[in-house]
Amino acid sequence: MTIKSKIRAFKVQGGQEVVAEVVGTTEQMGSTVSIKMRRPHILQFQQQRDGSVGLVFIPWTLSNPDIRELDVPISAILFSFETSAQVEKQYLQQTSGIEIATAM
Protein backbone atom coordinates (compact mmCIF):
# COMPACT_ATOMS: atom_id res chain seq x y z
CA MET A 1 0.00 0.00 0.00
CA THR A 2 1.50 3.34 -1.06
CA ILE A 3 0.89 6.25 1.30
CA LYS A 4 1.58 9.71 -0.15
CA SER A 5 0.18 12.01 2.54
CA LYS A 6 0.70 11.93 6.27
CA ILE A 7 -2.96 12.66 7.08
CA ARG A 8 -5.08 9.90 5.56
CA ALA A 9 -8.60 8.57 5.81
CA PHE A 10 -9.27 4.84 6.15
CA LYS A 11 -12.49 2.92 5.72
CA VAL A 12 -12.21 0.01 8.13
CA GLN A 13 -13.98 -3.36 8.46
CA GLY A 14 -16.60 -2.03 10.91
CA GLY A 15 -17.67 0.62 8.39
CA GLN A 16 -16.11 3.50 10.29
CA GLU A 17 -14.13 6.22 8.56
CA VAL A 18 -10.94 6.86 10.50
CA VAL A 19 -8.72 9.90 9.97
CA ALA A 20 -5.18 9.67 11.31
CA GLU A 21 -1.63 10.78 10.85
CA VAL A 22 0.35 7.93 9.30
CA VAL A 23 3.75 7.63 10.94
CA GLY A 24 4.95 4.35 9.45
CA THR A 25 4.26 0.85 8.31
CA THR A 26 5.34 -2.62 9.35
CA GLU A 27 6.66 -4.82 6.58
CA GLN A 28 7.05 -8.59 6.55
CA MET A 29 8.48 -10.49 3.61
CA GLY A 30 8.06 -7.47 1.33
CA SER A 31 4.40 -6.83 2.16
CA THR A 32 2.81 -4.21 4.42
CA VAL A 33 1.13 -5.94 7.37
CA SER A 34 0.17 -2.91 9.48
CA ILE A 35 0.00 0.86 9.44
CA LYS A 36 1.14 2.85 12.46
CA MET A 37 -1.42 5.62 13.04
CA ARG A 38 -1.08 8.61 15.35
CA ARG A 39 -4.19 10.20 16.94
CA PRO A 40 -6.75 8.09 15.05
CA HIS A 41 -10.22 9.64 15.14
CA ILE A 42 -13.56 8.55 13.69
CA LEU A 43 -15.13 11.11 11.40
CA GLN A 44 -18.86 11.61 11.99
CA PHE A 45 -21.56 14.08 11.08
CA GLN A 46 -23.30 15.82 13.96
CA GLN A 47 -26.25 18.16 13.92
CA GLN A 48 -25.37 21.62 15.22
CA ARG A 49 -27.56 23.86 17.36
CA ASP A 50 -28.46 26.01 14.35
CA GLY A 51 -29.75 22.94 12.49
CA SER A 52 -26.77 22.62 10.16
CA VAL A 53 -24.67 19.49 10.00
CA GLY A 54 -20.98 19.61 10.86
CA LEU A 55 -18.08 17.19 11.05
CA VAL A 56 -16.76 16.02 14.40
CA PHE A 57 -13.79 13.84 15.23
CA ILE A 58 -14.21 11.29 18.00
CA PRO A 59 -11.20 9.39 19.39
CA TRP A 60 -11.19 5.88 17.91
CA THR A 61 -10.18 4.44 21.28
CA LEU A 62 -13.00 5.72 23.50
CA SER A 63 -11.99 3.64 26.50
CA ASN A 64 -8.54 5.28 26.43
CA PRO A 65 -8.49 8.45 24.30
CA ASP A 66 -4.92 9.16 25.47
CA ILE A 67 -3.50 6.38 23.26
CA ARG A 68 -1.28 8.24 20.83
CA GLU A 69 -0.30 5.54 18.31
CA LEU A 70 -1.82 2.30 17.10
CA ASP A 71 -0.60 -0.41 14.74
CA VAL A 72 -3.64 -1.26 12.62
CA PRO A 73 -3.47 -4.53 10.67
CA ILE A 74 -3.80 -4.02 6.94
CA SER A 75 -6.47 -6.76 6.97
CA ALA A 76 -8.75 -4.42 8.98
CA ILE A 77 -8.56 -1.69 6.31
CA LEU A 78 -10.87 -1.81 3.30
CA PHE A 79 -9.30 1.17 1.54
CA SER A 80 -7.39 4.39 2.15
CA PHE A 81 -7.62 7.81 0.54
CA GLU A 82 -6.48 11.42 0.90
CA THR A 83 -8.78 13.70 2.86
CA SER A 84 -10.02 17.00 1.53
CA ALA A 85 -8.07 20.08 2.63
CA GLN A 86 -10.99 21.16 4.83
CA VAL A 87 -11.17 17.80 6.64
CA GLU A 88 -7.41 17.77 7.14
CA LYS A 89 -7.54 21.31 8.58
CA GLN A 90 -10.39 20.43 10.97
CA TYR A 91 -8.62 17.23 12.06
CA LEU A 92 -5.36 19.06 12.78
CA GLN A 93 -7.15 21.82 14.69
CA GLN A 94 -9.15 19.40 16.81
CA THR A 95 -6.39 16.91 17.56
CA SER A 96 -3.57 19.39 18.12
CA GLY A 97 -5.45 22.34 19.58
CA ILE A 98 -3.69 24.66 17.11
CA GLU A 99 -5.87 27.10 15.19
CA ILE A 100 -4.84 27.02 11.53
CA ALA A 101 -5.03 30.33 9.70
CA THR A 102 -6.77 30.57 6.35
CA ALA A 103 -5.32 32.47 3.41
CA MET A 104 -6.87 35.86 2.77
**Which tens digit of pLDDT belongs to each residue from 38-69?**
999 998 888 989 999 888 899 999 888 888 89
Q: How many other C-beta atoms lie within 10 A of the C-beta of residue 72?
A: 19
Confidence of residue 75 (pLDDT cuts 50, 70, 90): very high
Residue 102 has pLDDT above 70, yes or no: no
CB-neighbour burial class of residue 74 (10 A; exposed 0-12, middle 13-18, buried 19+): middle
How large is the average pLDDT for residues 63-90? 91
Q: Smallest Cα–Cα separation from 57: which of 17, 4, 85, 29?
A: 17
What are the Cα distances from residue 54, in Å, to 1, 16, 24, 74, 84?
Answer: 31, 17, 30, 29, 15
Contact partners, residue 80, CB within 8 Å, separation at least 6: 1, 3, 8, 9, 10, 11
Q: Write down the pTM of the prediction.
A: 0.82
Instruction: Give the pLDDT mean for 22-44.
Output: 94
